[in-house]
Each structure stands twice: as structure tokens, then as C-alpha cells.
Structure 1
Amino acid sequence: MVTQFLEQLKNIFKEMDRALIAYSGGVDSTLVAKIAYDVLGDRALAVTAVSPSLLPEELEDAKIQAASIGIAHELIQTHEMENPNYTSNPVNRCYFCKSELHDTLKPLALGRGYPYIVDGVNGDDLQDYRPGIRAAQERGVRSPLAEAGITKAQVRQLSQYLGLPWWDKPAQPCLSSRFPYGEEITIAKLQRVGRAEIYLRKLGYQGVRVRSQGDTARLELPPEAIREFVLNTDLEQLVAAFQEYGFIYVTLDLEGYRSGKLNRELAINTIA
């Protein structure tokens, strides 16, 4: 099955003369960049959007991974923080984020002679509430992983099969996903969430989220790590650090991290 999916992806890129990859450095877009480079060589270009919602550590990872693959890699600035439709954080915030991204990428691609822009959307993403996907589709962006029906688990299997050392890298969506819908997003809020998550990573915890609601930080850890965290962490020191970042209250989500948890509010409101 792995080799079958790999051949499907290669065939998709063989249809393209040149392709620009919307490359975040996550495991999905990195797999797409790897296969694009294997098929197209120097006719593939990876481009990473830089904005306050991207952790500097994630940007460095993206640079390292692109260099390891060998693909040409460039950075662009996006300005979604200047759009009140984005910063007001409506339920379709991601639509405005991806609109800004692809409205920035498209003229770059056309000016450089890249007829195709591709992204790392996978088959699982199509089953979740992802308004950003619509923005990309409206602009003609292709999603090879989704076209081939490849799930997140299969992305990891393919990445491991190809020997990519980051095959098990935790998902790291943009920092704006840490805020409940309707709460205004500011650069200062993004920075404090980013610093708080880096603090947890330095303690040795991966796959963590710091959900921000007003002055409260709600920590989400992998469920299996919660007991160890409570027993072995200097909680007084952690609270002091988070308060220095700008939070007043620090809480622990006893359920642990679950992807898409903020979208539960949408389901509840729909039922109501």
C-alpha cells in the first residue's frame, strides 16, 4: 500500500512541468515537497509564509528539512494580521488566512513560471471543519495527498518509508488556533502563547498546546503524560513563568490534547 501511494503521488507530479509548494515544514507539506523534488528536481520550489502566527522554531525546522531534502526554499511575508476579518477570529478565520497566503503565492508562482501551486492537505483534513481548504480550492491550488486519498497516518508511514527523520513530528498548526472563536487575536497574544509552548517543550513535552482564553492559559498535554507532569513539574516555577509571559491564571486540561477541540463549540451550537 505504501509503494502504491508513493507511485500515485509521483504520477501526480509527473503531470506537472513545474510546481510551487506551499510549505509550512509540517510532516504533510514536507512529504509533498520531498516527492515534488524527487520528480521535478529544480523545477520544484518550496515557499514558506512567515507571519506572527508561525513559531520561530518551526521556521528553523522548515529550513533544515528543506535543505535536507535538497529542494529550493524561499520565504515570503504574509499580512493576515492586517485584516480585521482574520484578527476578529470568526469561525472561518482560516479562510482569510489561506486567502492571504495564496493571494501572495499566486503572483509569485506566475511570475516565476510555476503553473501549479500545491499544498499539504491530506485526506483526513477533508473530514474536518477546514474553511482554509475552500480558499485554496477557489484559487486553483492542488492537494496531491488528498487527491490520492492519503490519511495523516499514511503520510507518516510514507515519510518513514522514505527515511525522513521527522516522520513522527507532532502536528503544529498556526498559533492562532489556540484562541476560542470570537476572541481577538493580537501579536502580543500570539507571542505569549508561543513562549509558553516553548517552555513546555523545553521541559521535554511534545504534542502540547497552550489554549489562551482571556488571561487564562489552559495546558493540553498528551493524556499519557498528565500524571508525570503533575508529579514531576515545578508548578510554582511554571506558573511564575507563564505570568511573566502575560497570563494571570494557569490551568491543566484533564482530558489532555485532542486535535480540533475548539471545533466542539461549533458542533454544540449547531445542535442547539
Structure 2
Amino acid sequence: MELSEFFAENPTVALGFSGGVDSAFLLWAALHYGAQVEAYYVKTPFQPRFELEDARKLAGQLGAKMTVLETDVLDLPQVACNPADRCYHCKNAIFSLIRRQAAADGWPVLIDGTNASDDAGDRPGMKALRELEVRSPLRECGITKKEVRRRSREAGLFTWDKPAYACLATRIPTGRTITHSLLERVEQSEDALFRLGFTDFRVRVLGDAARLQLPEEQLQTALDRREEIRAALAPAFSQVLLDLEPRKKEGE
């Protein structure tokens, strides 16, 4: 199936919209192929501020309708306790919220940006999508992440080369309770690294320390600027550790 065929068969859709590469392209594709679509962004403590800014920017450039919903997933014990299946409970809560609002707004089909490169066996959140009958056009049409980026570039979307950015909760080890303050410390630290010019990294929590994962080509720069990095992250973490195992690039 081609995307054009999917939207011909489903001309009225609601999109779970994150502002990332996949859902941004899917929003463009829905409009490009003549579908009526409304994008729903769910604001939670797990999303950094720039994601909402990117989502609004993209929707504005495309002239797409976008609704922002808000929920505190940390109110759910099965999320805050951070079990191995946390993603399932979080995704279930987020897409249940979108489904209720989309149904009330008159949208019969709910879609998301899962692509053909996403491994269903490694994504507990996909179980929630199946249970809620959320369609994934990119996956159904066999469109990989690499293809999404290529098509996004051709479409002129600024998101085409946006680094993959998993939610902030992924920075906290499974089994450690997730709190608002801990998420804020992680976001503060990652913002600081962005301002220093680093990209495509992660600041992971290790005890009371921050463990930095950087691409191989940025490791030497981090070593050379270690005092600058330590000072920038000091308000959030008293200890900063550099993981010498390079962070793998998307798709590796």
C-alpha cells in the first residue's frame, strides 16, 4: 500500500503528533494527499519544551490544525514507579486521551508515526497502540526511518534531519522512581549541552551522577571541554561522568 492509497481509504484522520521526524512527515503527507487531519500533541512531564515548540512551528508552516492536550502521566503509579513496561502504560494513557478527544471532535480514525524500522518486539508501547486500534500508516506502507528522512527533505520539512529524541523518562534507569524534579534536572542538563554545541547525545542518570553518552566524533571535544561541561551541568548534577562507549547513530 502507498500513503496516497491509505489516505484515499481514510480521508478523515486524527494524528498523534510529537513534532518528531515521523509524525511531522505524516502530517505533511496527510495534507499532501488531500486528507482532513487534526494533529493532537499531548504535553506531559516527559516531553522537553523544544518538542512542543517544534510541533507548533511545523503545524504553522503547513497550515495544519493542532490541538494541545495536557496530562501528568506521573499521576499513574504504574508509570511513576518506572517498571520495565512503563512505556506501555504511558502510551496507553496518552493515546486513550487523544482517542477520547478526537472522537468528541468527530475524527473516526486515529493514526501515529510508527515507521517500518521500529521493532515491535522492542517497543512495549506498540501493544498499547494495537489495543487502542491506532493505525500506523508509515509502518503499514513499509516506509523506514531512512525513507521518512529522504521524503521529508524533498518536502522541505525542517524536521528532516532532526535527531531521534526519546522521552526524558528513558534517561532514568528502570525501577528508579521518576519524579518531576529528576526530569527537570535531566532537561536542564541537556539544554546546557545543546547550548555548548553538542548534538545527538543523552544525559542519563546514574545514582546521583549524570552519565553523558555522546557520538564518537564528539568524545574528544567533550574531554577537551570537560571543565566547561562540568560547570554547565553543576546546577543539576554534582558529578558528571563521560561514557567512553560512543552513542550509536540512528539505525545502528
1:70 to 63, 69, 74: 63
Corresponding position of 2:219? 226
Tell me the SS of whatever aligns to 1:212: strand
Report the TM-score, using the length of structure 2 for normalisation. Answer: 0.94
1:17 aligns with 2:11: yes
Question: Hey, what's the Cα distance between the residues in 2 that align with 1:124 and 1:180?
Answer: 25
* Of 113-122 and 156-165, the range deviating more from structure 2: 156-165
1:166 to 154, 159, 180: 159
1:205 to 198, 202, 206: 198
1:244 aligns with 2:238: no
Report the TM-score, using the length of structure 1 for normalisation. Answer: 0.88
Question: Hey, what's the Cα distance between the residues in 1 that align with 2:188 and 2:63?
Answer: 31
1:253 aligns with 2:243: yes
- Matching residue's letter, 2:241: T
* Of 124-133 and 87-96, the range deviating more from structure 2: 124-133
Give the CA deviation at 1:87. 0.9
Query: Could you say what the CA RMSD is over the residues aligned between the two structures, in angstroms?
Result: 1.6
Q: Deviations over 1:168-206 (max 9, x none)?
A: 110111100111111111110111100101111111111
Q: Deviations over 1:128-176 (max 9, x none)?
A: 5111111011001000111011111111111112121221110111100
- Counterparts of residues 1-272 of structure 1 (less than 5 Å): 8-40=2-34, 43-127=36-120, 129-231=122-224, 233=225, 235-245=226-236, 247-258=237-248
Corresponding position of 1:3? none
Conserved? CA contact 1:79–1:100, under 8 Å = no
- Matching residue's letter, 1:144: P
Question: Hey, what's the Cα distance between the residues in 2 that align with 1:141 and 1:259?
Answer: 28
Tell me the SS of whatever aligns to 1:166: helix
Question: Hey, what's the Cα distance between the residues in 1 that align with 2:228 and 2:121?
Answer: 37
- Matching residue's letter, 1:252: L
Tell me the SS of whatever aligns to 2:162: coil
Q: Structure 2: any 5+ residue segments left out of the alignment?
A: none
Conserved? CA contact 1:18–1:40, under 8 Å = no
Tell me the SS of whatever aligns to 1:199: helix
Question: Hey, what's the Cα distance between the residues in 1 that align with 2:153 and 2:177?
Answer: 39
Give the CA deviation at 1:46. 0.6
- Matching residue's letter, 1:224: E
Question: Hey, what's the Cα distance between the residues in 2 that align with 1:40 and 1:172?
Answer: 29
- Matching residue's letter, 2:31: Y
Give the CA deviation at 1:40. 3.6
Question: Hey, what's the Cα distance between the residues in 1 that align with 2:144 and 2:173?
Answer: 27
Corresponding position of 1:263? none
Conserved? CA contact 1:19–1:117, under 8 Å = yes
- Identity within the alignment, %: 38
Conserved? CA contact 1:98–1:132, under 8 Å = yes
Name the structure with the higher helix share: 1
Give the total of aligned pairs: 250
Tell me the SS of whatever aligns to 2:235: helix
Pair 1:230–1:128, CA change in 2 (3 A):
farther
- Matching residue's letter, 1:117: L
Conserved? CA contact 1:9–1:145, under 8 Å = yes
Conserved? CA contact 2:45–2:73, under 8 Å = no
Question: Hey, what's the Cα distance between the residues in 1 that align with 2:22 and 2:46?
Answer: 18
